[in-house]
Amino acid sequence: MTKPRPIDPTLVPPLVETPQRRFNLRRIKRRPNMKTALIALVVILAAGLLLPFAAPQNPYDLSTFSVMDNRLPPGERSLDGLTVWLGTDSQGRDMVSAILYGMRVSLLVGLAATSLALSIGVTVGLLAAMFGGRIDALLMRLVDFILGFPSILVALVLLAVIGRGVDKVIIAIVVVQWATYARIMRAAAMVERRKEYVEAAENLGYPSWRIMFRHLLPNSIGSVLVVATIYVAHAITLEATLSFLGVGVPVTQPSLGLLVASGFEFLMSGEYWISLFPGLALLVLIFSLNLVGDRLREALDSRRS
Amino acid sequence: MRTNFLHVLSFLTLPILLPVGASAATLTVGLASEPTSTDPHYHSFTPNNGLARSLYGALVTTDANQKTVPDLATAWSVEGDNVWTFNLRKGVKFSNGVPFTAKDVIFTFCRVRNNPQAISDYFGNPVTNFVKVETPDDHTVRITTKVPEPLLPERMAEMAILSAGIVKHGEIAFDLANGCGVTGEWPTLARFNSGEDAIGTGPFKLTKYTKGAGVELARNENYWGEKPAWEKVTLLPIPNAGPRLAGLLAGNYDLVENPAARDVKQLEGDPRFGVTIRPSNRVIFLQMDVSKDQSPSVVTQNGTNPFKDERVRRAISMAIDRDTIVKRIMDGAAAPASQFVPETMFGAQPNPEPLIYDPEGAKKLLAEAGYPNGFKVTFAATNDRYINDSQVAQAIAQYLSRVGIQADVDAMTASIFFTRRSKSEFVLSMGGWGSTTGGASSFLQQFVATLDKDRGVGRSNYGGWSDPAFDAVILKAIATVDETKRAELLREAGKLALQKLPDIPIHFESTIWAFRKGIQFEGRMDQYTLPALAKAVK
């Protein structure tokens, strides 16, 4: 963990009485590996946004590349005169473009799935904490049911039924992830639920939805948000795994996981670049997301301020 | 993804490991595609048919070049056009020790007609043509057919003989209306897969079948022929070519099917391994739905099904550069196809008009047909059945996109593909067909002829093609006993099919086998990987 730094006594407040929920950006900036992770993430996000300009080719438009150029090693020139810095895949796609587009898919899936799952999970958790009793029991048994199966299995079965595509993958990830948020949200909200201010609000006759979203939500969302940052990376990994297994995105629109999978069979022939570079890109993406999420947790963690 | 990286790492280090070699009497085979059942009459599917050759015998069998040779029948003859006599081999025992007699042949004929779980009527169909089957003695079977069936011996090569002992029965006789004397339950898929009913006269017997995890065989000590060198055989499904080859290099497998063609050079230079390459009779082709007026899988501006138009089908054929697919995707281990069977086969076109690559011409034809801006279609393909199938499908989609047809490749696992295809769910799909019987007639009668269950034709005509002129020729051809005349009729039928292109041939696969030192493996044209053919050598 972190090394204790020498403490300047003048900077230490005499007594901390209220929990600080201040987002401490300075602390994030001070860690060098943190800086790298942040930069990597910003670059990836920027590349994803500026994609049509950043990529030399649209790898999802089959007419922009040719099978005549397939499996070119890094640095070769394609028939159109494009230098393929990271080589081409088995269909003749420029790997640089394929990786950039694949990253965009990964980010899209990660962010969309997480925010959807978060909204559903938070609502369910709040409902369970607010009303307790049978509603709580029912919702939590449902959560137990979902959490009882390995997430990859649930997603596989689901995709086998509903078919493939980016939207379907997002749905599958939401289905396996919302339960975690619901469980954490419920625990946090239950604690708040018993506090006096909630009781006071109830006695004042406020409607339940108001108590749920105006009182319970802001005071218990912190821990869920921390989990969410880590789960973005988890969602991306899940998408890559599902695509690797061949049930995720369509083969003509490869994501990072699918690129790794399609390059797999060429490794034996020494054509390493089809698998290796998308794999590295995925590694960097997940690693920086996890690192940022980790530090974000420390920054948000009131007990350590 | 962490496990995947570990895979990749272990994978990179594999080639430097020395092959350890399995013990002498066991053979481990890496299959590209796994058998879906041990029931030999379930699905006419190359991995199943190959496994059936190991477990069961048939009256007749085919050699590596697909010539019919004796198996359970030592000789056969035909009187007139309709009466066939098979003389059965004496002293043959099933793997459980029960002697083989003519009763078992009759029981098998009845079973294929009482097989509701079968994927298609492929195995049961020849029997619909039987008027009577007599057994003058325990080792003679006499079959009388309704219409002449010149290919009867070849059809018999595909029909694995089961033991009548697997069911409760009274006096077995060929009497389909009364269940042939069978009193108990007919054998089911589950009973075959558990091994209970998988009793045959083949060189091996079944020890264990686990779907997805492989098949274990043991030498059949009751086998009548030359016993194989292997006491135990394990057939493992390894759908991915890279790991399959890595397994061979690492010494985990003794023999593998279809390593990637690009890796063959590396193997050929290595004294520790051997390679066999054989052209096969398998054609990879596109099948289109030409009967539905509309389908959710195809989106056009005027809402019609473009594949009904002959010009569109011709345009698709012209849009595809077969030579490049063979060179760049198949790495040369294939041959561009301009017809549905290789030229060397019986009844093939000797000099078919080449299906040329002409994207400009294709665009013109599409515009003429009323699709100047092309259309959008879902293109179904397998991803674990044929050599490089998903890659080939993507390359075809690439070529189609160049002429304006947006083809979304939906590559799926074989079992899902075949089930959906048999329900005619696809409007454009890529399939493969190995013509094991009857030369050119096999593909034409299964895929091009109008469906007629009684005649046993058109069973794979999922696109609903129907051309009376073609039907007349092919039906005449398959009932003609005279070989010269039959070949002529087949050539005519083939020409008609190529004119209208209800199916579009792409290429013929070549099959590759790689094996460790100490094994000699002769390949087969029908692509079966038969462990009994793996010879142990010094």
Beta bridge partners of B145: B130
Side-chain half-sphere of B231: how many Cα atoms within 13 Å? 5
DSSP A5: P
Per the listing, tokens 């078992």 go with B104
Higher pLDDT, A223 or A109: A109
pLDDT for A245 equals 84
Whether B239 and B31 have beta carbons less than 8 Å apart is answered as no
Searching chain A, which residue's CA lies closest to the CA of residue B401? A63
Residues in CB range of B131: below 8 A, 6 or more apart: B82, B144, B145, B146
**Cα B514 to Cα A110: distance, rounded to the nearest angstrom:** 43
pLDDT for B242 equals 85
**Cβ of residue A286 closer than 8 Å to a chain B Cβ:** yes
Higher pLDDT, A94 or B13: A94
CB contact under 8 A, A265 and B241: yes
pLDDT for A304 equals 43
The DSSP element (H or E) to which B508 belongs, if any, is strand B503-516
Whether B524 and B277 have beta carbons less than 8 Å apart is answered as no
Q: What is the mean pLDDT of residues B366-386?
A: 94
Nearest CA to CA, how far is A218 from chain B (Å)? Answer: 34
Mark which residues 159-188 of A lie under 8 Å from B by CB: 164
How crowded is residue A72: how many other Cβ atoms within 10 Å of its Cβ? 23
**Cβ of residue B324 closer than 8 Å to a chain A Cβ:** yes
pLDDT > 70 in chain B, percent: 96
Query: Taking all residues of chain A, what is their mean pLDDT, rounded to a whole number?
Result: 85
pLDDT for A7 equals 57
Instruction: Provide the pLDDT confidence category of residue A18 given band limits of 50, 70 and 90.
Output: very low
Q: Over 70: is that where the pLDDT of B20 sits?
A: no
DSSP A194: T
Beta bridge partners of B409: B379
- Provide the residue type at B326 as one letter: V
* Start-to-end CA span in chain B (Å): 44
**Cα A115 to Cα A121: distance, rounded to the nearest angstrom:** 10
Q: Over 60: is that where the pLDDT of B4 sits?
A: no
Torsion of CA A94, A99, A101, A103, to 10 degrees: 180
**C-alpha distances out from residue A283 to A142, A250, A295, Å:** 33, 22, 18
pLDDT for B69 equals 94
Whether B202 and B223 have beta carbons less than 8 Å apart is answered as yes
Residues of B in contact with A70 (CB under 8 A): 328-329
pLDDT for A19 equals 47
Mark which residues 105-164 of A lie under 8 Å from B by CB: 164
Instruction: Provide the pLDDT confidence category of residue A247 given band limits of 50, 70 and 90.
Output: confident
pLDDT for B296 equals 85
Residues in CB range of B145: below 8 A, 6 or more apart: B82, B83, B84, B129, B130, B131, B152
Whether B207 and B216 have beta carbons less than 8 Å apart is answered as yes
Interface-testing mutation among B9, B379, B394, B402, with chain A (most A C-beta atoms within 10 A):
B394
**Cβ of residue B261 closer than 8 Å to a chain A Cβ:** no
Q: What is the mean pLDDT of residues B462-473?
A: 96
Give strand ranges (E) for chain A. 76-77, 83-84
pLDDT tens digits, one per residue of B203-258 = 999 999 999 899 999 999 999 999 999 999 999 999 888 889 999 999 999 999 99
| Encoded tokens for A232 | 């973005």
pLDDT for B320 equals 97
CB contact under 8 A, A267 and B325: no
Largest CA distance in chain B: 70
Q: What is the mean pLDDT of residues A253-279?
A: 89
Q: Over 90: is that where the pLDDT of A3 sits?
A: no
Determine the angle formed by the axes of helices A256-264 and A95-131, rounding to 10 degrees.
Answer: 130
Interface-testing mutation among A58, A64, A67, with chain B (most B C-beta atoms within 10 A):
A67
**Cα B293 to Cα B288: distance, rounded to the nearest angstrom:** 13
pLDDT for B101 equals 96
Q: Over 50: is that where the pLDDT of B191 sits?
A: yes
Give strand ranges (E) for B24-67. 26-31, 60-62
Integer Rg of chain A from CA: 23
| Encoded tokens for A146 | 């979902």
pLDDT tens digits, one per residue of A60-81 = 899 889 999 999 999 999 988 8
**Cβ of residue B328 closer than 8 Å to a chain A Cβ:** yes
Q: Over 70: is that where the pLDDT of A15 sits?
A: no
**C-alpha distances out from residue A58 to A92, A98, A120, A277, Å:** 12, 8, 35, 18
Searching chain B, which residue's CA lies closest to the CA of residue A268? B242
Residues of B in contact with A268 (CB under 8 A): 11, 15, 241-242, 245-246, 260, 263
pLDDT for A302 equals 53
Range of weakest confidence among A151-155, A226-230, B388-392: A226-230
Q: Over 50: is that where the pLDDT of A305 sits?
A: no
Q: Which ipTM did the prediction report?
A: 0.78
**C-alpha distances out from residue A77 to A94, A262, B57, B398, Å:** 10, 22, 56, 20
CB contact under 8 A, A91 and B391: yes
Query: Taking all residues of chain B, what is their mean pLDDT, rounded to a whole number?
Result: 91
Q: What is the mean pLDDT of residues A93-105?
A: 92
Beta bridge partners of B133: B143
Instruction: Provide the pLDDT confidence category of residue A29 given band limits of 50, 70 and 90.
Output: low
pLDDT for B521 equals 94
pLDDT > 90 in chain B, percent: 80
Instruction: Provide the pLDDT confidence category of residue B455 given band limits of 50, 70 and 90.
Output: confident
Beta bridge partners of B332: none
Whether A102 and A281 have beta carbons less than 8 Å apart is answered as yes
| Residue in A70, A251, A286 nearest the CB of B409 | A251
Whether B392 and B430 have beta carbons less than 8 Å apart is answered as yes
Whether A125 and A185 have beta carbons less than 8 Å apart is answered as yes
Alpha carbon A83 to its chain's center: 33
Residues of A in contact with B402 (CB under 8 A): 63
Nearest CA to CA, how far is A292 from chain B (Å)? Answer: 19
Integer Rg of chain B from CA: 24
pLDDT tens digits, one per residue of A132-173 = 899 999 999 999 999 999 989 999 999 988 888 899 999 999
**Cα A85 to Cα B258: distance, rounded to the nearest angstrom:** 31
pLDDT tens digits, one per residue of B320-369 = 999 999 999 999 999 999 999 999 899 999 999 999 999 999 999 999 99
Q: What is the mean pLDDT of residues B448-467?
A: 91
pLDDT tens digits, one per residue of A287-301 = 888 888 887 777 766
Q: What is the mean pLDDT of residues B286-313?
A: 92
| Encoded tokens for A177 | 């992830």
**Cβ of residue B333 closer than 8 Å to a chain A Cβ:** no
**C-alpha distances out from residue B201 to B61, B87, B185, B189, Å:** 13, 16, 22, 19
Q: Over 80: is that where the pLDDT of B5 sits?
A: no
| Residue in B1, B262, B411 nearest the CB of A241 | B1
Nearest to B531 by CA among B267, B274, B278, B256: B256
Whether B282 and B433 have beta carbons less than 8 Å apart is answered as yes
pLDDT for B58 equals 97
Higher pLDDT, B45 or B16: B45
Whether A65 and A57 have beta carbons less than 8 Å apart is answered as yes
Whether B436 and B425 have beta carbons less than 8 Å apart is answered as no
Instruction: Provide the pLDDT confidence category of residue B81 given band limits of 50, 70 and 90.
Output: confident
Q: What is the mean pLDDT of residues A269-277?
A: 91
**Cα B72 to Cα B78: distance, rounded to the nearest angstrom:** 17
**Cα B148 to Cα B155: distance, rounded to the nearest angstrom:** 13
How crowded is residue A130: how many other Cβ atoms within 10 Å of its Cβ? 21
**Cα B403 to Cα B312: distance, rounded to the nearest angstrom:** 11
- Provide the residue type at A292 as one letter: V
What global pTM score does this model have? Answer: 0.83
Q: What is the mean pLDDT of residues B437-458?
A: 90
Residues of A in contact with B395 (CB under 8 A): 67, 91
Side-chain half-sphere of A207: how many Cα atoms within 13 Å? 3
Q: Over 60: is that where the pLDDT of A28 sits?
A: no
**Cα A185 to Cα B272: distance, rounded to the nearest angstrom:** 61
Whether B371 and B400 have beta carbons less than 8 Å apart is answered as no
* CA angle, residues A153, A156, A157, in degrees to nearest 5: 90
Residues in CB range of B522: below 8 A, 6 or more apart: B64, B276, B533
